[in-house]
Chain A
Amino acid sequence: MLHLSRRTRIDLRNGLLFISPWLVGLIVFTIYPIFASIYFSFTDYTVLRPPRWVGLQNYIALFTEDVLFPKSLGNTLYYAAFALPLGMIGSVGLALLLNKKLLGMSVYRTVFYLPNILPTVAMSVLWIWLFNPNYGLFNSILQQLGLPGVPWLTSPKWSKPSLIIMSLWGIGGSMVIYLAGLQDIPEHLYEAAELDGANSWQKTWHVTLPMLTPTIFFNLVMGLIGVFSYFTQAFIMTNGGPVDSTLFYMLYLYRNAFVYFKMGYASAMAWILFIIVVSLTALVFKSSGRWVYYGGALT
């Protein structure tokens, strides 16, 4: 036993008592599940019978036999490749416009932000109706403009672009974060740039955007984790179809775990996802030295 002073011992006891709610959670809901999940991923486990050790079988099957696994990974990467950059450009752009402190800014901010807090299910139900090929909002507008309708969610070619368009309705959340980032940029930088004769475009390009890169970086990392969790919209709106064109990673994982009860297989999928997310995040971190500007430390 360590020799701690009476005071330290009391503090240790109190400290542990105060954090005990989280400590219990750490053991039960984090540490145990992590190890259990690693173990399950090497087993064949259908809940009804005890897990049976199969070694690397699940991993091998995922990469060699299962056609839906690469499909779901590809769908997710497709979605990420468009939804992330488009969302980023859109939210940074809106934040830059709102930062000009124009008249009616709080109204605009509310309109842009509100979709972001709606229940995902409600939003999905609404967008099924908007995407309705015959009487939905979008095809009605296209028709009134004399343009041909788009099959949206009903065609494998359009289903993913449709969901990407829908995701743009939710960029208000990142917009508010960017707006906060913009308001942290010290005024004297703009004054200095103005003294040097910079116009507003040059100020945006050479002052605002470099100063905003830490926020962009943060949102990018969060976005990467987010796209791999993309589930509810696809589950409600298309349930993976048509012809598996919207079978996203998490949707396929969910099916394996809770529809087919292949718990071992689903656990292997979870670990592959973990490795992908960690590598992508590491890649972003590694590249950040080149494009993230930490001049903000001056403030």
Chain B
Amino acid sequence: MAVRSLEASGAEALPRRGLREILAGKKARRYIDHGLSHLVLLITGFLFFLPFYWLVSTSVKPNDELFLLPPKWIPSRLVWENFPRAWNYIPFALYFKNTLYICAFNVVATIISCTLTAYGFSRIRWPGRDFLFMVLIATMMVPYQVTLVPTFLIFKWIGWVGSFKPLTWPAFTGTPFFIFLLRQFYMTIPLELSESAKIDGASELRIFLQIMVPLTRPAMATVALFTFLWNWNDFLGPLIYLSRQEQFTISLGLRGFLTRFGAQWELLMAGTTITVLPIVVLFFLTQRTFIQGITLTGIKG
């Protein structure tokens, strides 16, 4: 409809000019267009990059160059010692270990629960399946604020508050969003594959493990990656459930660092760089899975 409305405006202009002129004009306009686009992208890209530069440059600055006006854009010498100092200022190693434990637990548990559930929702036909799947979709619409307080109280009653358990064990009940995603993948695999395996006497569990799991590795990688990322970045969960220092995750630890040593920016930025680095490395190692994951699911980091 939008295309058709243009017919009138552009059509009569064509025959008056020669073909070569039109092409030359088109090429020139293309150059201008690309040039302008590059300009805008360069400026915006520079603005987006600046905070990263400020982060890393502050973390290697000598302390006396932090508070200068105009600022020292390039530190006169690189103080790499800021990193080990920050690392030892707060028990970073312990925080890393705690965070990794939570992340690894969640990745494994989420993969197990979501693939099993997705299989039950896509590869077996049983009465009530489609109704329950609608329920699953509906639960995605419930904002987490609504369930936050009662969920906390459940964990309080069973005495799990103050341990890692509220942050890990629920992963065994799956994430509706990933179940949905995996189900979409399972639907694309021809049913005949399972049927012939069934005729050969294979059980559902065997079909799941030997056919579905190997065929849907990329989807599982996406689920694993985003589960890891969410748990690595999560703050509210650890904030609510963890209270003792030795259980802190990196996010909680970094916040503690901020509240206790607020003015030591070179150490804070070194600590922040340490926190950010694993995610940046992970991103560059798995860039394709990352971008595919967002494209597939519409989820942001």
CB-CB under 8 A from B54, the residues of chain A are: 126, 129-130, 137
Whether the pair A232, B174 counts as a contact (CB closer than 8 A) is: no
List, in ascending order, chain B residues with CB within 8 A of A270's CB: 143, 145-146, 148-149
- Structural contact, A94 and B147, CB atoms closer than 8 A: no
- The answer to whether B2 touches A28, judged by C-beta atoms less than 8 angstroms apart, is no
Contact with B along A265-295 (1 / 0, CB 8 A): 0110111011001000000000000000001
Interface presence of A81 (CB below 8 A) = no
Rounded to whole Å, the gap between the CB of B48 and the closest CB of chain A is 5
Question: CB within 8 A of B272: which of A17, A126, A196?
Answer: A126
Whether B41 pairs with A102 at a CB distance below 8 angstroms is: yes
Would you call A18 and B124 a contact (CB within 8 A)?
yes
A120 to B40: give the CA distance in the assembly, Å: 27
A121 to B235, CA, bound (A): 7
Whether B227 is near chain A, meaning CB under 8 Å from some CB there, is no
**B216 CB to nearest chain A CB (Å):** 15
B279 at interface by CB-CB < 8 Å? yes
**Given A116-B301, A121-B235, A206-B2; A129-B150 close (CB under 8 Å):** no
CB contacts (< 8 Å) of B129 on chain A: these are: 15
- Chain B residue numbers with a CB within 8 Å of A176 are 291, 294-295
Q: CA A173 – CA B132 in complex, angstroms?
A: 31
Task: Give A11 to B203 CA distance when docked, in angstroms.
Answer: 11
Residues from chain B with Cβ under 8 Å of A17 in the complex: 120
Within 8 A of B (CB), among A2-34: 2, 4, 8, 11-12, 14-19, 21-26, 28-30, 32-34
Pair B255/A19 contact, Cβ less than 8 Å: no
Contact check, A118 vs B67: say whether CB atoms are below 8 A apart: no
The answer on a CB contact under 8 Å between A33 and B41 is no
Q: B5 near A33 (CB under 8 angstroms)? A: no
Residues on A with C-beta less than 8 A from B148 are 257, 270
Contact with B along A123-146 (1 / 0, CB 8 A): 001111110101101001001100
CA gap between A37 and B153 in the complex, in Å: 10
CA distance in complex: A117, B229 (Å): 8
CB of A68 within 8 Å of the partner chain = no
For the complex, is A60 an interface residue (Cβ under 8 Å from B)? no
Find chain B residues with CB under 8 A from A33 CB. 146-147, 149-151, 154
Q: Is A79's beta carbon under 8 Å from chain B?
A: no
* Contact between A119 and B250, CB atoms less than 8 A apart: yes
**Is there contact, CB below 8 Å, between B275 and A18?**
no
A130 / chain B contacts, CB cutoff of 8 Å: 51, 54
| B276 A118 Cβ-Cβ under 8 A | yes
Residues of chain A with a CB closer than 8 A to B291's CB = 109, 176
A236 within 8 A of B: yes
**Residues of chain A from 174 to 190 with CB closer than 8 A to chain B in the complex:** 174, 176-177, 180, 189
How many angstroms between the C-alpha atoms of A46 and B139 in the bound complex? Answer: 28
Please state if B51 and A37 are interface contacts (CB–CB under 8 Å): no
A89 → B minimal CB distance (Å):
12
- Taking CB atoms, residues of chain A closer than 8 Å to B149 are 33, 37, 40, 257, 263, 266-267, 270
Question: Are the CB atoms of B255 and A121 closer together than 8 Å?
Answer: yes
Q: Is the CB of B172 within 8 A of A114?
A: no
| With contact pairs A114-B280, A180-B294 given, residues A122 and B275 touching in the complex (Cβ less than 8 Å) | yes
Is there an interface contact between B13 and A197, defined as CB atoms closer than 8 Å? yes
Q: Within 8 Å CB of B170, what residues of A?
A: 25, 29
Chain A interface size, as a band, is 35 or more
Which residues does chain A contribute within 8 Å of B145, judged by CB atoms? 228-229, 250, 253, 269-270, 273-274
Complex Cα gap A76–B33 (Å): 39
Chain B proximity mask over A141-158: 1 for CB below 8 Å, otherwise 0? 001100000000000000
A283 to B77, CA, bound (A): 57
Residue B85 interfacial (CB < 8 Å): no
Contact call B127/A129, Cβ cutoff below 8 A = no
- Residue of B7, B67, B121 touching A19 (CB-CB under 8 A): B121
Whole-angstrom distance from the CB of A58 to the nearest CB of chain B?
A: 12
CB-CB under 8 A for A126 and B153, given A18-B204, A102-B38: no
Task: Tell whether, in the assembled complex, residue B67 and residue A135 are in contact, meaning their CB atoms are under 8 Å apart.
Answer: yes
Residue of A nearest to B133 (CB): A19
Pair B119/A169 contact, Cβ less than 8 Å: no
User: Separation in Å of the B56 CB from the closest CB of chain A?
Assistant: 10
Q: Are A192 and B45 in contact (CB under 8 A)?
A: no
Q: State whether A180 touches B295 (Cβ < 8 A).
A: yes
Are B67 and A120 in contact (CB-based, < 8 A)? no
Closest 10 CB pairs of A and B: A197-B10, A25-B173, A18-B120, A173-B300, A117-B301, A15-B126, A33-B150, A33-B147, A19-B120, A36-B150
* Interface residues in chain A, defined as those with a beta carbon under 8 Å from any beta carbon in chain B: 2, 4, 8, 11-12, 14-19, 21-26, 28-30, 32-34, 36-37, 40, 47, 94, 97-98, 100, 102-103, 107-112, 114-122, 125-130, 132, 134-135, 137, 140, 143-144, 169, 172-174, 176-177, 180, 189, 192-193, 196-200, 202, 206-207, 210, 218-219, 222, 225, 228-229, 231-232, 235-236, 250, 253-254, 257-258, 263, 266-267, 269-271, 273-274, 277, 295
- 23 A-B pairs whose Cβ atoms sit less than 8 Å apart in the complex: A2-B127, A8-B126, A19-B132, A21-B117, A24-B173, A25-B113, A25-B174, A29-B170, A30-B139, A37-B146, A119-B232, A120-B251, A121-B251, A121-B252, A121-B275, A129-B268, A132-B265, A134-B69, A137-B71, A196-B11, A210-B2, A222-B300, A273-B145
A-B contact sample (16 more), CB < 8 A, given A25-B172, A232-B236: A19-B116, A30-B142, A33-B147, A34-B146, A36-B153, A47-B156, A117-B229, A121-B233, A121-B252, A125-B258, A137-B71, A198-B10, A225-B143, A270-B148, A274-B145, A295-B1
